[in-house]
Amino acid sequence: MATASLETRENRRAWGFVTPALLWTIAFFVIPFIVMAAISLATRKGREIVMAWNFDNYIEFFEKAHLLKGLFVSLEITFTVTLISVILAYPLAWIIAERVPQKWQRMALIMAILPFWTSYVVRSYSWLLVLAQNGVINNSLIYLGIISEPLELASTRTATVIGFVHFFVMLLTLTIYANLVQMPPNYRRAAADLGANGFQVFWHVVLPLTLPGIMVGAFLTFVLCIGDYITPQILGGNNELALPQVIMLQLGRRADFPMAATLSIILMVVVTLAYIACARWLKMERT
């Protein structure tokens, strides 16, 4: 009897510690999400939001080309960025792990991720300085007499991709580096002893062992890239809109909360699908 009451008292105390954080998460994360999901089933009549409890917004999304295109633009940009970032980051991580002396490696990594800590807004503005019509690249090229007319670099998809790649090369370098240094050097020595040449060692031993790091980094890239509004807005301009830009457009000019909520839910479904695919792949890899 005595132990039971002690346990209940212990338990009550434990709940006292956990409850505030749980309540906060429920009140400001779970409930808002439910509200948003509910609003996505409403319709907008003038400035009023009327609960209709139907999927008209979702049907509209697939019927209206400018909405659906946002998703495809976002997916295209995200896949391009992920691919380029992996290709650029892998050699960098390898060089830091293999060629840079041990005691400098930490420093090299800190340096590599330093610009990571500027806000999206400042970082995108910095790239605008470089790429704008009167920016660093155009002015330098004109000054050197290589071109006479400024190149159209900003307000293009290329600019968006450059801005994103800049950010995610740093991120992927970290995750791939973490994988590379974990790998015991014996594996490679064994492969070399068995007669594999440099390329074969890389292709059959090193690459498969670092794939998890690549996948984790690539997944993070995917999630952060597809949900970002700033980079495409500042660097890509209004020529073609990515999904987050379409969402913000619904909010701003039209105050169409139901459609914005619908698009957000769709964005979240896409991210969740990517997560499931990634988790399944990692699980398969392990077994």
Partner 1 sequence: MISSRFSKLLSWSYLIALYGFIFLPVAVLVLFSFQDGRLPVPPFNGATLKWYGEVFADSRLMSALGNSLMVALGSATVACVLGFCAAYGLARFVLPASRLQRGLLIAPMTVSYLIIALGLLTTFNWVGVSLSLWTVGIGHVVINLPLCFAIIYASMGDHQKNIERAARDLGAAEWQVMTQVSAPMLMPSILAAFFLAVTFSWDEFIIAFLLSRFDVTLPVEIWSMLRSGLNPKTNAVGSVVFLVSVALLLILELIVFRRTAKK
Residues between 58 and 97 that touch partner 1 (CB under 8 A): 88, 91-92, 95-96
Distance CA 7, CA 216 (A): 41
Q: How far is the CB of 241 from partner 1 (least distance, A)?
A: 14
Q: How far is the CB of 89 from partner 1 (least distance, A)?
A: 8
Q: Which of 224, 241, 246, 259 is in the footprint of partner 1 by CB under 8 A?
A: 224
Residue list 169-188, contact with partner 1 (CB under 8 A): 169-170
Read off the DSSP letter of residue 287: -
Q: Which is nearer to partner 1, 79 or 126 (CB)?
A: 126
DSSP conformation letters of 100-136: S-HHHHHHHHHHHHGGGGS-HHHHHHHHHHHHSTTSH
Q: Which of 18, 65, 146, 194 is in the footprint of partner 1 by CB under 8 A?
A: 18
Q: Which is nearer to partner 1, 58 or 229 (CB)?
A: 229
Read off the DSSP letter of residue 42: E
Site for partner 1 contains 247 (CB under 8 A): yes
Which residue from 163, 162, 167, 175 is spatially nearest to 90, judged by alpha carbons? 175
Residue list 32-51, contact with partner 1 (CB under 8 A): 32-33, 35-36, 39
Q: Which of 8, 11, 54, 238 is in the footprint of partner 1 by CB under 8 A?
A: 11
Q: Which of 67, 71, 112, 201 is in the footprint of partner 1 by CB under 8 A?
A: 112
Q: Which of 115, 204, 207, 276 is in the footprint of partner 1 by CB under 8 A?
A: 115
Q: How far is the CB of 235 from partner 1 (least distance, A)?
A: 11
Site for partner 1 contains 14 (CB under 8 A): yes
Residue list 130-149, contact with partner 1 (CB under 8 A): 130, 132, 134-136, 139-140, 143
Q: Which is nearer to partner 1, 33 or 55 (CB)?
A: 33
246 contacts 234 by C-beta, under 8 angstroms: no
267 contacts 244 by C-beta, under 8 angstroms: yes
Distance CA 104, CA 100 (A): 6
Q: Which is nearer to partner 1, 88 or 191 (CB)?
A: 88
Site for partner 1 contains 199 (CB under 8 A): no
Distance CA 40, CA 229 (A): 20
DSSP conformation letters of 194-207: TT--HHHHIIIIIH
273 contacts 198 by C-beta, under 8 angstroms: no
Which residue from 110, 106, 105 is spatially nearest to 95, judged by alpha carbons? 105
